[in-house]
Structure 1
């Protein structure tokens, strides 16, 4: 049996679509919340068992991993250790777990927690007979429900003058949720012995933040003036806002990372399972059409 977390989420629903398109025949157990929209699961035509519960609850995880041989864990890296411990306890053979390239950030706040989690994961894996592949998406986008480009789209749509850090020269490599759903499926179907311990899942090619903003502006049909600020000034403003709001609004790390290159090669994923993400130009145009339609 296959156990899946996060299947009703942004990238999870594209993983579900891959299971549907490939007519997956095995039993699938999906952890969902009471508030989740499960209509896609209900109408999938697959052999799906929905289980409602709290992924923070170790007793619940212990129960739902019984009889499971594979897990695709999508929902959040912060839950991985609990999932892994339950999997070990119940003799699960393989886990495909979605983490983040944020672990490579030079900023401690962005990466320290992830480093600690993965250090504990490695320790558990060395002591137990279980196979694990970690998938590391870059900045995820693709629909108005994403937490990245959708925010920039709204901001560029609203403001004629748009601030950028250091002329928007830092590199990003956004990856579309559709490409991630396909990658999750492809890695799941690989024999465990052929899969590497981790794969980076990035967009087609690196682009600058300014190039991304220009594409957003052009697709919106807007004439946007981009006003550049030094990184230090942006951090100063973010600190001031945090102080004024007594810590309720904290954009310091986000501003710092606007000056950090976040581009990573997906060469190994391309070689091992044919990962071929679509261009950002294509993906962002689709997302903006969806935004304008709403």
Structure 2
């Protein structure tokens, strides 16, 4: 199988690419920088999601498209729209104009909609473009992923809980999360691609249980022999900090404004359809701790 993947060099994308290569698939990964691959079956294609001419030939040679590329942290709502919405529009339009008949996997988020901030709004708009297309699409909405790279919020929280007794909490720390290991998510991605299931369907890929931020941090800390001291940080203070980073023009701020609504908004955690159709069988947080994955 020939697969064209956007966002293939990101944390989740790299894990997915490794899985595809292990299955003997050939992968063309779109990148914004010039990279050289020494791995059999993997080709890096220097291009831009906003410039279909840079990747049009890869689409026509592919059996499947996996669209993971997205802007996730920005203080510029226009940038979210440009990359997440317009980028998806141009990819979908190019695939449609070529008469692409393979599978189209669109990776979204369960933090979806305007209530979840500018990022969530842009991902909702991108989903609509995919749903209204004539492609053989499947939309996947992962929850809080850990294990892909050191950049995910859950991985950062785990690292903090393992090494520090003092753990800051956003607000009261009672916001619900459903952490899920990247390997379990990649299993679902692969099953969505290689089976006839899921065409025209949307799936939530969350962990098997929801817990609060405080509970998750505490469980990780105690597993590693620490008795955590929690320090609640008012959300208003976090908003002011994010605003200050924006006003000071930080290129890579440690906190952006829409992370607060993204944390606080209500999210779906119903994984029954993914379990049924994609054989999604996520491990619990405790299971991952026992396996040494956290």
Aligned to 1:235: 236
Aligned to 1:215: 219
- How do 1:143-182 and structure 2 match up within 5 A? 143-156=148-161, 159-165=164-170, 167-182=172-187
| Residues 210-260 of structure 1, C-alpha deviations (whole Å, 9 max, x = no match) | 11110221244333211335xxx3224531563387354554433344444
Answering whether residue 202 of structure 2 is matched by residue 198 of structure 1, we say: yes
Aligned to 1:264: 269
Per-residue deviation at 1:284? 4.9
Tell me which of 94, 119, 129 is aligned to 2:128. Answer: 119
- How do 1:71-110 and structure 2 match up within 5 A? 71-76=65-70, 78=84, 79-93=87-101, 94-104=103-113, 106-110=115-119
Please tell me the root mean square deviation across aligned C-alpha atoms, in Å: 2.9
Q: TM-score, normalised by structure 1?
A: 0.79
Aligned residues: 273
Q: Is the contact made by 1:234 and 1:255 (CA closer than 8 Å) also made in structure 2?
A: yes
Q: Secondary structure at the match of 2:112?
A: helix
Which sections of structure 1, spanning at least 5 residues, go unmatched? Answer: 289-294
- How do 1:6-85 and structure 2 match up within 5 A? 6-24=7-25, 27-34=26-33, 36=35, 38=37, 42-43=39-40, 47-76=41-70, 78=84, 79-85=87-93
d(CA) in 2 for partners of 1:133 and 1:202? 16
d(CA) in 2 for partners of 1:166 and 1:52? 42
Q: 1:280 to 1:48 in 2, by over 3 A?
A: same
Q: TM-score, normalised by structure 2?
A: 0.79
Larger Rg computed on CA atoms = 1
Per-residue deviation at 1:272? 0.8
| Residues 88-142 of structure 1, C-alpha deviations (whole Å, 9 max, x = no match) | 122211311111112146234342222333333334x1xxx42111111011111
Which sections of structure 2, spanning at least 5 residues, go unmatched? Answer: 71-82
Q: Secondary structure at the match of 2:270?
A: coil
